């Protein structure tokens, strides 16, 4: 049996998620993603590629985002947040775009990576909860993904901020998917496994 304090903490977490989630969505508009999407599309038009990077929990968000973009018409690659300054920047080519994720926008390791990315001739899209952060100022386009409360004990471990980052990148992926005219046939061709890899009756010609 869970302790009563544990049950209360879970209830408080759900309440915080409800509050932060709704506040985040109400503050967003489609126009928020236009500059970032345009940066990516312009890069792709000249043969550039998309990469996603982050440190700590944000690195896990990065791998998900890269796979999501890739499966919906926009090939993307995970750039290791710390290995980037130890040779992994070799996967970059001038003109590429790198999405850099950091809740605070001040993470030391990510600063080094962003500077290396820019030194290799790439554009940066920053994703952070702090629009006045170092990352925001160093980015060519910036997406706000911030919350006031993480929702868990100590208000430290990334929880709600991760949800905000995921929603931000998912919204960007929606815009890019439409721009690429990614239809069911194209989706299934790249995703032949499982139920998602089967055309639905209304999609068959």
- Which CATH number goes with the domain that contains 94? 3.40.50.10490
Neighbours of 119 (CB within 10 A): 10
The phi and psi torsions of 89 (rounded to 5 degrees) equal -65, -10
Residue 187 belongs to some domain of the structure: yes
Query: Would you say residue 199 has pLDDT above 80?
Result: no
8 A C-beta contact, residue 78 and residue 51 = yes
Contacts of 90 (CB under 8 A, 6+ apart): none
pLDDT band at 198 (very low <50, low <70, confident <90, very high): confident
Q: Is residue 204 part of a domain?
A: no
| 118 inside domain | yes
Q: Which residues contact 18 (CB under 8 A, 6 or more apart)?
A: none
DSSP state of 198: S
pLDDT (0 to 100) of residue 97: 98
Q: What is the pLDDT of residue 9?
A: 95
The answer to whether position 55 is within a domain reads yes
The CB-side HSE value for 25 (13 A sphere, CA atoms) comes to: 8
Tell me how many domains the chain contains: 1
Q: What's the pTM?
A: 0.95
The pLDDT score that the predictor gives to residue 168 is 98
Q: How many of the other CB atoms lie within 10 Å of CB of 23? A: 14
> Which 3 state secondary structure label does DSSP give 52?
strand
Is residue 196 very low, low, confident or very high in pLDDT (cuts 50, 70, 90)?
confident
The answer as to whether 102 is a domain residue is yes
Residue 199 belongs to some domain of the structure: no
Range of the domain at 59: 4-194
Residue 201, Cβ neighbours under 10 Å: how many? 5
200 falls within a domain: no
pLDDT in tens, 65-98: 999 999 999 999 999 999 999 999 999 999 999 9
Angle between helices 4-26 and 160-179 (to 10 degrees): 40
| Angstrom distance (rounded) from CA 145 to CA 167 | 8
């Amino acid at each position: 049996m869970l302790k009563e304090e544990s049950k209360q903490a879970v209830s408080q977490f759900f309440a915080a998620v409800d509050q932060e989630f709704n506040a985040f969505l109400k503050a967003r508009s489609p126009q928020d993603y236009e500059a970032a999407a345009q940066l990516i599309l312009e890069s792709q038009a000249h043969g550039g590629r998309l990469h996603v990077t982050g440190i700590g929990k944000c690195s896990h968000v990065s791998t998900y985002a890269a796979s999501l973009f890739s499966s919906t018409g926009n090939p993307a690659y995970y750039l290791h947040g710390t290995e980037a300054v130890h040779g992994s920047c070799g996967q970059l080519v001038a003109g590429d775009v790198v999405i850099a994720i950091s809740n605070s926008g001040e993470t030391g390791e990510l600063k080094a990576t962003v500077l290396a990315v820019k030194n290799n001739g790439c554009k940066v899209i920053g994703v952070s909860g702090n629009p006045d952060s170092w990352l925001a100022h160093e980015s060519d386009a910036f997406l706000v993904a911030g919350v006031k409360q993480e929702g868990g004990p100590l208000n430290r471990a990334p929880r709600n901020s991760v949800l905000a980052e995921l929603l931000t990148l998912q919204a960007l992926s929606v815009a890019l998917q439409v721009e690429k005219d990614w239809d069911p046939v194209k989706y299934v061709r790249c995703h032949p496994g499982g139920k998602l890899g089967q055309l639905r009756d209304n999609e068959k010609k």
